[in-house]
Chain A
Amino acid sequence: MANVALRNVRKAYPNGFEAIKGVDIEVGDGQFCVLVGPSGCGKSTLLRMVAGLETVTSGEIDIGGRVVNRVEPADRDIAMVFQNYALYPHMSVYNNMAYGLRNRGMAKGEIDTRVQEAARILELSALLDRKPGQLSGGQRQRVAMGRAIVRQPKAFLFDEPLSNLDAKLRIAMRVEIRKLQRRLGTTSIYVTHDQLEAMTLADILVVMNGGQVEQIGNPLEVYQNPATTFVASFIGAPPMNLIGLRDAGIALAGAGSEAGILGIRPEDLQMVDGAVPDGGVAFDLRVEAIERVGAETYVYGLRAEQAGGAAVSTRPGDLPPGEILVRIPGQSGPAIGERIRAAAVREKLHLFSTDGRKRIALR
């Protein structure tokens, strides 16, 4: 058990590319830290630096009070679960788990106790003699977990461990990993690009973009108070509506001169008939598309006064300019082409600076 701390960690490749541009993260003992971000944001690189598989250009990586920048991966007392599991194909499940312990010169009896215990926890006891090739994806995933558990390391590192599983299994394994981590109380760092996984697993959520940390915090806190438009659109599905104040011609009292972008989560928009709620905003929309997923309905509306070329697009995959997403519970909803009015109350509005890099308080 240990703290893991990253202090102003940087990574630059010989060709000059800066993959990590100064990251500070503090993971407390037994905490579950999730690094989330789009592909290429440097989250995997950062994890591999903690593991010792990538060198650290500058800064400090501290595991359990010891700076490990120059320590070999095997001597850092950490265990890693890889995306493709990286099981030894020619070894049985038992040997896959025992291999690391044998290399450390552990006594046979102790190895056997640990492997049997891990197998019991992970329900692998019946499969110990199988080869990885004879296992299903979920079982392989568990063996990879078992290989980490038997080491009883100071910290677990997970590199997108669930992305090779199908959707249903992914959810099941997600819960399993969380339960297991709670039970073992081992400090963990988990990398994923899936914001849902990140939200559900994390004690500490670290949102990364372009080699930098955008925001660190408790998942709900991050959800409720995104620090930048990037975080706002990355965390939460469907993503937050981001509207340029000036382009939309919205005059918001108390917004201040710095404010440039208004953010509203789809679920914070309500269909209303009459007036704008006090201090809030309202949009007149023409319904363009409707998605019903059962428990809720997504309404895509084009702002009536908007003839294109408005809403802020921070990344591909965002809504087209002028379109606003409203999320309403249940299966009822307007018809396509219908005109509706959607409004949000003042407390649910998020304001950002024009470049989207700064959150601005709404007084």
Chain B
Amino acid sequence: MVEHRRFGNLLPHLILLAGIIVVAFPVYLAVIASTHDNAAIANGQMPLYPGTHGLETYWHTIASGTGKTTRQPVGGMMLASLIMATGIAVGKIAISIISAYAIVFFAFPFRMAAFWTIFITLMLPVEVRIYPTYKITSDLSMLDSYSGLILPLIASATATLLFRQFFMTVPKELVEASKMDGAGPIRFFFDTLLPLSVTNIAALFVILFIYGWNQYLWPLLITTRDDMQTIVIGIKKIIDVHDALTEWSVAMATAVLAMLPPVAVVVLMQRLFVKGLIETEK
């Protein structure tokens, strides 16, 4: 339905504008706060325009962080988060695309049972199975390690389901043509299926990267070493000071920095992301 009324568009625009302000204002505030000194923020008289301490604060945050709370520069935390988020996203995609490949293209006993088993893990996020998962991770001596951060989180029913749905739309003649062309299962996977899945993979990567980046409970539980802190945990720790003044400027700068990689991923992969979710042509 396309309507052209001069004032008909006014109300929707006002609503959208209000929504944008509600979402964007806190972000704006964080950016502004990160450019003022701690005293200005703490005494409640922070102006709504940028201060003069911006560069200094960010440099300080990235390179040294706060000595009292996290004892780590935020740059290091970002690296830890980046490794974890990338590891989770790549791992989830790799595992689920292979599982979906097996479920859709191979006839083996209990194929549907396998699929439903994967499917019901949708109901078992890490928060639900936290004790057994912790126990296993601990028994395998993976506490305080990247493999411990990543591996328990990379099974993904959602991604498997998405790939399965996509694979089921691949014409079976394409599989047969590959067979006639002398391509075995591995070749078919790498030469045909993977190139066709690129947009789907990109879309999933965006979602899963952000999922990984935002992990809080699991890293909090299994990492104790300072150099394994992720940035999301870092923010919490920086704010949580006892008997001293919170370094608000550093906290805000950390929050802004924590936002950047997910934003970058979304912006860079936006086109593929949208294509991956709506594309139907094979």
Could you list which residues of chain A lie within 8 angstroms of chain B, going by C-beta atoms? 51-53, 72-74, 78-80, 82-90, 99-100, 103-104, 133, 147
Kindly state the separation between the CA atoms of A260 and B192 in the bound complex, as whole angstroms.
57
Kindly state the separation between the CA atoms of A190 and B281 in the bound complex, as whole angstroms.
28
- Docked complex: B158-201 residues within 8 A CB-CB of A: 171, 173-174, 176-177, 179-183, 187, 191-192, 195-196
We find that the number of chain B residues with CB closer than 8 angstroms to chain A is 17
Residue of A nearest to B194 (CB): A90
Kindly state the separation between the CA atoms of A72 and B181 in the bound complex, as whole angstroms.
11
Which chain A residues border B180 with CB–CB below 8 Å?
Answer: 51, 73-74, 78-80, 100
Kindly state the separation between the CA atoms of A260 and B191 in the bound complex, as whole angstroms.
60
Kindly state the separation between the CA atoms of A22 and B10 in the bound complex, as whole angstroms.
74
Which chain A residues border B173 with CB–CB below 8 Å?
Answer: 82-86
Which chain B residues border A99 with CB–CB below 8 Å?
Answer: 181, 183, 191
Kindly state the separation between the CA atoms of A79 and B182 in the bound complex, as whole angstroms.
11
Kindly state the separation between the CA atoms of A141 and B91 in the bound complex, as whole angstroms.
40
Kindly state the separation between the CA atoms of A100 and B183 in the bound complex, as whole angstroms.
8
- Once the chains bind, are B195 and A90 in contact (CB under 8 Å)? yes
Kindly state the separation between the CA atoms of A103 and B182 in the bound complex, as whole angstroms.
6
Which chain A residues border B174 with CB–CB below 8 Å?
Answer: 86, 88
Could you list which residues of chain B lie within 8 angstroms of chain A, going by C-beta atoms? 171, 173-174, 176-177, 179-183, 187, 191-192, 195-196, 281-282
- Once the chains bind, are A89 and B196 in contact (CB under 8 Å)? yes
Which chain A residues border B183 with CB–CB below 8 Å?
Answer: 74, 99, 103
25 A-B pairs with C-beta separation under 8 A: A51-B176, A51-B180, A52-B179, A53-B176, A72-B179, A73-B176, A73-B179, A74-B182, A74-B183, A80-B177, A80-B180, A82-B176, A82-B177, A85-B173, A86-B176, A87-B177, A88-B174, A88-B177, A88-B191, A89-B281, A90-B192, A90-B195, A99-B183, A100-B180, A133-B281
Which chain B residues border A83 with CB–CB below 8 Å?
Answer: 173
Kindly state the separation between the CA atoms of A83 and B173 in the bound complex, as whole angstroms.
9
Which chain A residues border B192 with CB–CB below 8 Å?
Answer: 88, 90
Kindly state the separation between the CA atoms of A90 and B174 in the bound complex, as whole angstroms.
12
Kindly state the separation between the CA atoms of A87 and B171 in the bound complex, as whole angstroms.
10
Which chain B residues border A90 with CB–CB below 8 Å?
Answer: 192, 195-196
Residue of B nearest to A148 (CB): B180
Residue of A nearest to B174 (CB): A86
Which 7 residue pairs of A and B lie closest in terms of their CB atoms, listed nearest first? A100-B181, A86-B173, A74-B182, A103-B182, A86-B177, A90-B195, A82-B173
Kindly state the separation between the CA atoms of A52 and B282 in the bound complex, as whole angstroms.
25
Q: Is the interface of A mostly helix, strand, loop or mixed?
A: loop
Kindly state the separation between the CA atoms of A53 and B173 in the bound complex, as whole angstroms.
10
Kindly state the separation between the CA atoms of A37 and B177 in the bound complex, as whole angstroms.
24
Kindly state the separation between the CA atoms of A72 and B180 in the bound complex, as whole angstroms.
9
Residue of B nearest to A78 (CB): B180
Excluding A74-B182, A88-B177, A100-B181, 14 further A-B contacts by CB distance (< 8 Å) are A53-B176, A53-B179, A74-B180, A74-B183, A79-B180, A80-B176, A84-B173, A85-B173, A86-B176, A88-B174, A89-B281, A89-B282, A90-B195, A103-B182
Kindly state the separation between the CA atoms of A85 and B183 in the bound complex, as whole angstroms.
17
Kindly state the separation between the CA atoms of A83 and B176 in the bound complex, as whole angstroms.
12
- Once the chains bind, are B179 and A100 in contact (CB under 8 Å)? no
Kindly state the separation between the CA atoms of A74 and B179 in the bound complex, as whole angstroms.
6
Kindly state the separation between the CA atoms of A97 and B113 in the bound complex, as whole angstroms.
39
Residue of B nearest to A99 (CB): B181
Kindly state the separation between the CA atoms of A43 and B177 in the bound complex, as whole angstroms.
19
Kindly state the separation between the CA atoms of A85 and B282 in the bound complex, as whole angstroms.
13
Residue of B nearest to A98 (CB): B181
Which chain A residues border B195 with CB–CB below 8 Å?
Answer: 90
In the complex, how many angstroms separate the beta carbon of A107 from the nearest chain B beta carbon? Answer: 16
Specify which of B176, B177, B182, B196 lies most central, judged by the most chain A CB atoms within 10 Å of its CB: B177
Report which of A51, A53, A89, A103 forms a contact with B181, defined as CB distance below 8 A. A103
Q: Known contacts being A100-B182, A104-B182, is A84 close to B176, with CB within 8 Å? A: no
Kindly state the separation between the CA atoms of A73 and B181 in the bound complex, as whole angstroms.
8
Which chain B residues border A88 with CB–CB below 8 Å?
Answer: 174, 177, 191-192
Which chain A residues border B196 with CB–CB below 8 Å?
Answer: 89-90
Kindly state the separation between the CA atoms of A133 and B181 in the bound complex, as whole angstroms.
20
Kindly state the separation between the CA atoms of A34 and B163 in the bound complex, as whole angstroms.
39
Q: Known contacts being A53-B176, A99-B191, is A74 close to B181, with CB within 8 Å? A: yes
Report which of B171, B182, B191 forms a contact with A86, defined as CB distance below 8 A. B171
Kindly state the separation between the CA atoms of A298 and B247 in the bound complex, as whole angstroms.
95
In the complex, how many angstroms separate the beta carbon of B278 from the nearest chain A beta carbon? Answer: 16
In the complex, how many angstroms separate the beta carbon of B177 from the nearest chain A beta carbon? Answer: 4
Residue of B nearest to A53 (CB): B176
Specify which of B179, B180, B195 lies most central, judged by the most chain A CB atoms within 10 Å of its CB: B180
In the complex, how many angstroms separate the beta carbon of A4 from the nearest chain B beta carbon? Answer: 16
Kindly state the separation between the CA atoms of A74 and B180 in the bound complex, as whole angstroms.
5
Residue of A nearest to B179 (CB): A73
